[in-house]
Structure 1
Amino acid sequence: MADVRDDRDAAREAVVGAALAALDLDAKTRLLSGQDMWSLPALPEIGLRSLVMSDGPVGVRGVRWTADDPSVALPSPTALAASWDPGLAHRAGVLLAQEARRKGVHVLLAPTVNLHRSPLGGRHFEAYSEDPFLTGRIGTGYVSGVQSGGVGTTVKHFVANDAETDRFTVNNLVSARALHELYLAPFEAIVADARPWGVMTAYNSVNGPTMTEHRHLVQEVLRGAWGFDGFNVSDWQAARSTAGALRGGLDVAMPGPRTVYGRALAEAVRAGEVTEAEVDAAVRNVLRLAARVGVLGGAPPAVTAPPADVDGPALAREIARRSFVLVRNEPVGGEGPALPLRPGTVALSGAAARDARVLGGGSATVFPARVVSPLDGLTAALPEGTLSYRVGADPNTELAVAGRGFVLRAVCRDADGAITGTGSAPRGHIQWMGSDLPDGVTHDRLHTVELTGTFTPEESGPHTFGIKGLGAFTLTVDGTTYYDGVQRPAKDDPFLSFFGAPEPRAEVRLTAGTPVDVSLTHVVDLPDGDRMKVVTFALAHAGPRHDPDELIAEAARAAAAAETAVVVVATTERVESEGFDRTDLRLPGRQDDLVRAVAAANPRTVVVVNSGSPVELPWREEVAAVLLGWFPGQEGGAALADVLTGAHEPGGRLPTTWGDLADAPVTRVAPAGGELPYEEDLFIGYRAWDRAGRTPSYAFGHGLGYTDWTYESARVDGTAVTVRLRNTGDRPGREVVQVYLAPAEPDPGRPARALAGFAGAEAGPGEYVEVTVELPRRAFEVWDESTGSWAFVKGSYELGIGRSIADRRITAAITV
């Protein structure tokens, strides 16, 4: 097999070399600059078709960021990491490759393998874990899965893009040891084990240079020491300097057509600022990628026979239920644990049970063809008449994009008012990037876009309408114009139109069941220098507001009358999204009050937490069970029903520590004077909690199933650890065996212990099973800053083996 791959690699390199030799300088530099938002230009003279990229990581958006072109939406990366199963990550990657090929996409802009340095990171739902080893293993599975389908990946964001505050300008100050042992480690592992075809460099700077110009980390470490042979693409609008970026190792500057490359790069070569040989090196990397994905004529693609088709919704449902982490499951009234649900009535509450949040905000957003909410899933799974629902508490403090009850379409007009094209807008959200416009519409003629149609309210009373976006708008409801003005940004952020909150602009009294006409017209104003050519805005809405105390009381009364109460609590896009960090870990709105009221009414209360990363759970000891559901993807409600009813056990283990902010050891995410020192050095996540001697709410690696396990023994053979365990419960189950390595002689410069390996084990009731965990050489190495290389630390180590960093059941010794 290796020989076949080597032969194909050699054949591709020959075609790449010939193609490169046939290009003149202007063609080469044009290839390194995006032709639009998502693609590189075709060069017919060498048989090169346009290469298309698309955002991920939970789905493949394609070049059309619209609900008209739906995508399978998988659970969030934190959920995937919670499975602790690289094989499942591989299967997710295969599905995403299938989706990419369906949409004509050649490169997926994923996965995100930055670390959960602080729980306040606003985008942590898009990254896997606080631990570099677990992140590297899951990322390797994901990348190998995507690329087995003939689609490239860009492992991102290289490197230390671990927070959102001032991400365009922050200079992160990180020691060489922390860089190599923590932040670079997942990238290095994925390069070694999955051979990714791309890497995306981040906006931020590290120890001075911006990452798009970081010659040491890109040219000397990534390409030199690690042998990476893929292409390096900038994060969108991250490239700042023509000569600096090229010499720093940046191959492609996105998005186009106006970037620091293209014509500017050709002029820099002619002016002697950079050499054509440096340009050739970048072009070669891009042509190699094109050959691998099959868009360079005459070059054999890396994958000639993609894997068999995958059932997307079925896999999304499986990943979700295997990601759910049961962190608490107490017996109630001498009748056994609260979960699985016992027969009888169930009182469901929480706005997120009805309006599920299935994915995170920002560039990770895709539009699934359907979403199964917890209410939908439990309604389908439970006997008719046994489920009741109350809102209880709504975490949303802002308007939501128009959804239920709206029937809308987009009408495009030129400056004379003539219609140039139309498109559907089923969710009241316009998001057109680059050439992603309705048929017949062009940017040079586009003057206004009108969202127009009807709204049929479900409830009588005052309804609020609003606008999300920047620029000039006119809002009309039921024949009355309520707003005709300009919305301006509060701060200078090029992505504010994507991530900003909607502005309320009208309050209208409506009658349930009576449709009214609605219209929102936006004047499109794209400056000549606008590089992204983005038209984005939305019509927003909120129904009548109710007394929050009465809503909570209604939910508590329903809970008191039921056998079991299930409360779904959630974060919102104002809490977890790209573009900003969190200021606290509290659940928004009155959700904590709702949980306490329901728990007081019914001792058999189960709380489902719908968040992408940790939140505080101040009532956790007052309820019978707590299930962490992450952002569970489009089939999340069905998967939740599978787990709550006991059809499947929850399979997840925590990929990151959950605790209160007051106790969290690392909380600083905001720079001062443009700099953010990583003062904690090697001590993030469980390493920091360990060092501080603090006990979190739930430890890294923790997670319960519906059966019990006894760890019988462990034997060490070289660097392999074989663990024997037995399922002592009364149903089949899966266990994640975790191995933590600790130096026998404590070293204050090293973490007390670190994850060194893990493996899944499955067994039926009463059955024994053995799993072998191979400890990698890197587990015994540290980065020596004096030599700039890895040092193998000989000596004795203790192996703590068990269910989490805090629940180590047996120990063994190893000497290396």
Structure 2
Amino acid sequence: MNIAEILDQMTLEEQASILSGADFWTTVPVERLGIPKIKVTDGPNGARGGGSLVGGVKSACFPAAIAVGSSWNPELARELGKALAEEAKTKSARVLLAPTVNIHRSGLNGRNFECYSEDPYLTSELAVAYIEGVQGEGIAATIKHYVGNESEIERATISSDIDERTLREIYFPPFEAAVKRANVRAVMSSYNRLNGTYTSDHPWLLTEVLRGDWGFDGIVMSDWFGSHSTVESVNAGLDLEMPGPTRDRGAKLVAAVKDGLVAPETVRRAAGNMLRLLEWVGAFEDATMHEEQAIDRPEHRALIRRMGAEGTVLLKNNGVLPLAKAEIGNIAVIGPNADTARVMGGGSAQINAHYRVSPLEGIRMALAGKNAVLHARGADNSRLMPMLQGPVTVEFFDSVDLSGPVVHRMTLAEAHAFWLDPISPKLDMSAFSARISGDYTAAEDGDHVFGAVTAGRGLLKIDGEVVADFWDDWTQGTNFFSTGNDEQRASVSMKLGQTVRYELEYRTGLPGDALMALRAFRIGAARPLGDSDIAEAVERARDADVAVIFAGREGEWDTEGQDLPHFNLPGKQDALIEAVLAVNPRTIVVLQTGGPVLMPWFDRVAAVMQSWYPGQEAGNAIADVLFGDAEPGGRLPQTFPRRAIDNSAFTDDILTYPGLDGHVAYREGIFVGYRHHDTRGIKPFLPFGFGLSYTTFVWANARLSAPVMEEGGLSVQIEVTNSGSRSGSDVVQLYIRPLDARAERPEKELKAFAKLHLDAGQTGTAVLSISHRDLARFDVERKAWIADAGRYEAVIAANAEDIRFVLPFTLEAEWQESLR
């Protein structure tokens, strides 16, 4: 394939045309020259394909990225990447919009669950393996979001103000590693501005650093609706505007070239990048785009289940775990996440999973009916009212006021839709209305609350009576990526077995509404739980040999488009845990969250597990760990603070978080996460890298290859013996501590790790390497990485606080590596 010859044959208009999408998920073809279109697909934990963000063709749902981060296992990330590439092929997609490698800065980021870690080295190792797994199957990976998207607050406009040293040492490394080591084929710019300039318009970021310093030769695409200009973006190095049809390219770009604002060579270069991507994914050889398929592979099921266990972190255990099935007469399974499978976070990461196994189902299957399973929810944790299940009827009108005939009908499995692609050729997607209706039957007496959210306008009726009106008076809120309103609620008194008809009259957004191009709705209803429900859970626990409480959050809390309000468990979950603990000291708490939480009851419960969002096999994976059929293989990828104020992003100045007047200042600089706790002397609640096992390990004979840093670096070896009675895994973490630093440095920084899986009695050797770059800091004035001559320590630890060995060595002369 001669890309230069194809470019020579393309007109300026044709070159410009392939620099924006054709629609939400595909690129523009040039049929005259045999240039095909390709499809891209989200995302990090599953290949969704095209169509809606909800519903659609089913896909395998893998564990969220934070669970992958907890595994500390790059080989597992590589397996995940390979599986996701296979999934992408079932959706006829050539580009996977993943991985997400933004850093866990605050712990409250709505997309914390989509990212691996607070540490750039751990993030880099996992990202490189993930990308190699994806791209080894011929699917292009897209590393995102480049850069400074560590919060969802005002993300489309906020300026992340970050100094260059902090960028180079904390926020750039995963992207740099993806380019230099994994040859990633695509980079996605973030929504935010960086130091005042949108990242999609940022020549220093997209051209000088990405292509100049690192040698990137793939494409740069915008996040969806994340480009803001014609001239600035293409001159800065943004190749592809997404989604389509174009807003700022096309005829505008051609005009900019003719007006002398953009050089023809700039358009040609960007078009060449696009053609090379098409060539790399094999689209010229095979342009086939088949119908999307839902293929439920047994090997993917097994991988998801294994990943769920390996990402589970055992935070506390007084000996109650693992539970012995033969010794339990009955078990109380309690909490809002017990009978509902919380398999993933929200936003663009969500997919229509093949199936979802709840913890209650997983425990019942594990016990096979041999033990009594007592169940009560006890408390709510939903941010929005629980979604209504179908059948839900939708009637569409080619008008904005439900006038005229019904031009299209559909039936949904749940009262939720996100319409991105055309619904019907009879509908104008920018101006239509719909009547959405279904039945709701009360499962008990009481006040039942209905809630509706729209990206668009709405009128909610119950049995024909208007209960919530946001048809004319509509206010932008935080839902649907901040393009929808806040949930509109209404309470209806109902009796057990009573059925009501709910109806939402919907119309698309009006001029001035947030992102009118998005069209979505969601309807939920439930009887809110109260003190009587906690009392019911207490009675279940009182009669049980052991109580397991499934607490945490769900995908409407951990979601794109908004940050979390605090670190507390939502609702009355803490009260539920305290009440159950008062009657049953053998209480285990299983957490499912996308980040750290406060645990005021931690010292008094028998055990705590953090299971994150472990994918469609959630209940089975959790049950495997509870009953000892699998080990809890995880270690924390993020520090859990004792108080919110202990987090590095939280200060008395709100400019550092959540931001002020359109700016958020990363004033903590390089002191993020454990670097902050270590260096500032702030004790964490649970340290970075922490995690317990069901077995025990002895570390011995830690040794350096030499006392002086050699030209090829140093190596460290540590013998690890499984001294327990069952197999398990341990993670050896190597931090570098500079003793003679000539600039402010963190107390120590992770630079290597090894995960060893060992049978009972088995001894393994962890071999870790240290390079000159591992000793270095970035010097902004010299535009180089500098390792100061002097004394260093290789700190060998089980977590950021549990230091096992300290091995001193020296670097006799300053080392320097220039950017180019």
User: Residue 755 and residue 445 in structure 1: after superposition, are their counterparts in 2 closer, same or farther (change >3 A)?
Assistant: closer
Provide the C-alpha distance between the structure 1 equivalents of 2:511 and 2:301, rounded to a whole number of angstroms: 41
User: Residue 410 and residue 51 in structure 1: after superposition, are their counterparts in 2 closer, same or farther (change >3 A)?
Assistant: same
| Match among 384, 387, 390 for residue 401 of structure 1 | 387
- For 1:396, give the aligned amino acid: S
- For 1:407, give the aligned amino acid: P
Is this contact kept in 2: 1:94–1:145, CA < 8 A? yes
- For 1:389, give the aligned amino acid: H
Provide the C-alpha distance between the structure 2 equivalents of 1:345 and 1:83, rounded to a whole number of angstroms: 31
User: Residue 487 and residue 153 in structure 1: after superposition, are their counterparts in 2 closer, same or farther (change >3 A)?
Assistant: farther
| Match among 440, 448, 471 for residue 486 of structure 1 | 471
1:289-368 matched pairs, under 5 angstroms: 289-297=277-285, 311-331=299-319, 343-368=328-353
- For 1:366, give the aligned amino acid: I
3-state DSSP class of the match of 1:469? strand
Is this contact kept in 1: 2:478–2:486, CA < 8 A? no
- For 1:586, give the aligned amino acid: N
> Which residue in 1 is equivalent to 2:544?
562
TM-score, structure 1 length as denominator?
A: 0.92
Deviations along 1:589-637, whole A, 9 cap, x unmatched? 1111111111221111110111011111111111111100111211111
| Match among 716, 724, 733 for residue 704 of structure 2 | 716
User: Residue 264 and residue 808 in structure 1: after superposition, are their counterparts in 2 closer, same or farther (change >3 A)?
Assistant: same
- Residue 242 in 1 paired to residue 230 in 2? yes
Farther off after superposition, 453-462 or 663-672: 453-462
- Residue 119 in 1 paired to residue 107 in 2? yes
Deviations along 1:652-687, whole A, 9 cap, x unmatched? 000010112132232232222322221111100000
User: Residue 488 and residue 288 in structure 1: after superposition, are their counterparts in 2 closer, same or farther (change >3 A)?
Assistant: farther
Deviations along 1:287-324, whole A, 9 cap, x unmatched? 111111122358999xxxxxx97722222211111100
Provide the C-alpha distance between the structure 2 equivalents of 1:106 and 1:602, rounded to a whole number of angstroms: 53
Deviations along 1:531-553, whole A, 9 cap, x unmatched? 874321122212x234x222222
3-state DSSP class of the match of 2:348? coil
> Which residue in 2 is equivalent to 1:645?
627
In the TM superposition, residue 581 of structure 1 has moved relative to its aligned partner by 2.0
- For 2:212, give the aligned amino acid: G
> Which residue in 1 is equivalent to 2:569?
587
User: Residue 525 and residue 806 in structure 1: after superposition, are their counterparts in 2 closer, same or farther (change >3 A)?
Assistant: closer
In the TM superposition, residue 485 of structure 1 has moved relative to its aligned partner by 4.9
> Which residue in 2 is equivalent to 1:611?
593
| Match among 215, 223, 227 for residue 203 of structure 2 | 215
Provide the C-alpha distance between the structure 1 equivalents of 2:511 and 2:29, rounded to a whole number of angstroms: 26
- Residue 780 in 1 paired to residue 775 in 2? yes
- Residue 791 in 1 paired to residue 777 in 2? no
Provide the C-alpha distance between the structure 1 equivalents of 2:479 and 2:373, rounded to a whole number of angstroms: 46
Farther off after superposition, 669-678 or 105-114: 669-678
| Match among 704, 723, 731 for residue 692 of structure 2 | 704
Which stretches in structure 2 are left out of the alignment for 5+ residues?
290-295, 651-655, 706-712, 812-820
Provide the C-alpha distance between the structure 2 equivalents of 1:784 and 1:524, rounded to a whole number of angstroms: 52
- Residue 623 in 1 paired to residue 605 in 2? yes
3-state DSSP class of the match of 2:413? coil
- For 2:439, give the aligned amino acid: T
RMSD: 2.5
> Which residue in 2 is equivalent to 1:4?
none
3-state DSSP class of the match of 1:143? helix
User: Residue 196 and residue 35 in structure 1: after superposition, are their counterparts in 2 closer, same or farther (change >3 A)?
Assistant: same
| Match among 661, 665, 677 for residue 644 of structure 2 | 661
In the TM superposition, residue 466 of structure 1 has moved relative to its aligned partner by 2.7
3-state DSSP class of the match of 2:525? strand
User: Residue 25 and residue 494 in structure 1: after superposition, are their counterparts in 2 closer, same or farther (change >3 A)?
Assistant: farther
Is this contact kept in 2: 1:433–1:532, CA < 8 A? no
In the TM superposition, residue 557 of structure 1 has moved relative to its aligned partner by 2.3
TM-score, structure 2 length as denominator?
A: 0.91
- For 1:579, give the aligned amino acid: G
Provide the C-alpha distance between the structure 2 equivalents of 1:485 and 1:655, rounded to a whole number of angstroms: 42
Provide the C-alpha distance between the structure 1 equivalents of 2:15 and 2:620, rounded to a whole number of angstroms: 50
In the TM superposition, residue 450 of structure 1 has moved relative to its aligned partner by 2.7
> Which residue in 1 is equivalent to 2:414?
427
- Residue 170 in 1 paired to residue 158 in 2? yes
In the TM superposition, residue 704 of structure 1 has moved relative to its aligned partner by 0.9
3-state DSSP class of the match of 2:181? helix
Is this contact kept in 2: 1:414–1:447, CA < 8 A? yes
| Match among 217, 225, 237 for residue 229 of structure 1 | 217
> Which residue in 2 is equivalent to 1:522?
506
In the TM superposition, residue 460 of structure 1 has moved relative to its aligned partner by 4.1
- For 2:523, give the aligned amino acid: L
In the TM superposition, residue 515 of structure 1 has moved relative to its aligned partner by 5.0
Provide the C-alpha distance between the structure 1 equivalents of 2:500 and 2:463, rounded to a whole number of angstroms: 5
- For 1:664, give the aligned amino acid: N
In the TM superposition, residue 712 of structure 1 has moved relative to its aligned partner by 1.0
Is this contact kept in 2: 1:117–1:162, CA < 8 A? yes
Provide the C-alpha distance between the structure 1 equivalents of 2:531 and 2:771, rounded to a whole number of angstroms: 55
> Which residue in 2 is equivalent to 1:458?
443
> Which residue in 1 is equivalent to 2:653?
none
- For 2:37, give the aligned amino acid: S
Provide the C-alpha distance between the structure 1 equivalents of 2:582 and 2:763, rounded to a whole number of angstroms: 41
Farther off after superposition, 35-44 or 281-290: 35-44
Deviations along 1:436-475, whole A, 9 cap, x unmatched? x2x5554369732232343344334433323210444343
Provide the C-alpha distance between the structure 2 equivalents of 1:177 and 1:779, rounded to a whole number of angstroms: 15
1:796-811 matched pairs, under 5 angstroms: 796-811=791-806
Provide the C-alpha distance between the structure 2 equivalents of 1:199 and 1:22, rounded to a whole number of angstroms: 27
In the TM superposition, residue 433 of structure 1 has moved relative to its aligned partner by 0.4
Deviations along 1:665-724, whole A, 9 cap, x unmatched? 322322223222211111000000011212111100011111000001122225221211
> Which residue in 1 is equivalent to 2:375?
389
Which stretches in structure 1 are left out of the alignment for 5+ residues?
1-11, 302-307
User: Residue 137 and residue 200 in structure 1: after superposition, are their counterparts in 2 closer, same or farther (change >3 A)?
Assistant: same
- For 2:387, give the aligned amino acid: V
3-state DSSP class of the match of 1:680? coil
Is this contact kept in 2: 1:95–1:310, CA < 8 A? no
| Match among 21, 27, 52 for residue 34 of structure 1 | 21
Provide the C-alpha distance between the structure 2 equivalents of 1:251 and 1:146, rounded to a whole number of angstroms: 22
Provide the C-alpha distance between the structure 2 equivalents of 1:444 and 1:784, rounded to a whole number of angstroms: 52
> Which residue in 2 is equivalent to 1:21?
8
> Which residue in 2 is equivalent to 1:159?
147
> Which residue in 2 is equivalent to 1:9?
none
3-state DSSP class of the match of 2:197? coil
Is this contact kept in 2: 1:114–1:159, CA < 8 A? yes
1:731-810 matched pairs, under 5 angstroms: 731-745=726-740, 749-810=744-805
1:179-190 matched pairs, under 5 angstroms: 179-190=167-178
Provide the C-alpha distance between the structure 1 equivalents of 2:308 and 2:172, rounded to a whole number of angstroms: 28
Provide the C-alpha distance between the structure 2 equivalents of 1:774 and 1:220, rounded to a whole number of angstroms: 30
> Which residue in 2 is equivalent to 1:198?
186
Provide the C-alpha distance between the structure 1 equivalents of 2:477 and 2:546, rounded to a whole number of angstroms: 49
| Match among 126, 137, 145 for residue 125 of structure 2 | 137
User: Residue 324 and residue 397 in structure 1: after superposition, are their counterparts in 2 closer, same or farther (change >3 A)?
Assistant: same
User: Residue 337 and residue 525 in structure 1: after superposition, are their counterparts in 2 closer, same or farther (change >3 A)?
Assistant: closer
Provide the C-alpha distance between the structure 1 equivalents of 2:145 and 2:324, rounded to a whole number of angstroms: 40
Calculate percent identity across the aligned residue pairs. Answer: 35
Deviations along 1:95-123, whole A, 9 cap, x unmatched? 11111111121211111111011122222
> Which residue in 1 is equivalent to 2:487?
502
In the TM superposition, residue 483 of structure 1 has moved relative to its aligned partner by 4.8
- For 1:412, give the aligned amino acid: F
Provide the C-alpha distance between the structure 2 equivalents of 1:596 and 1:771, rounded to a whole number of angstroms: 42
Is this contact kept in 2: 1:665–1:692, CA < 8 A? no
In the TM superposition, residue 167 of structure 1 has moved relative to its aligned partner by 1.5
| Match among 95, 98, 109 for residue 86 of structure 2 | 98
- For 1:147, give the aligned amino acid: Q
3-state DSSP class of the match of 2:648? coil
Is this contact kept in 1: 2:478–2:484, CA < 8 A? no
- For 1:410, give the aligned amino acid: V
Provide the C-alpha distance between the structure 2 equivalents of 1:483 and 1:575, rounded to a whole number of angstroms: 23
Is this contact kept in 1: 2:483–2:515, CA < 8 A? no
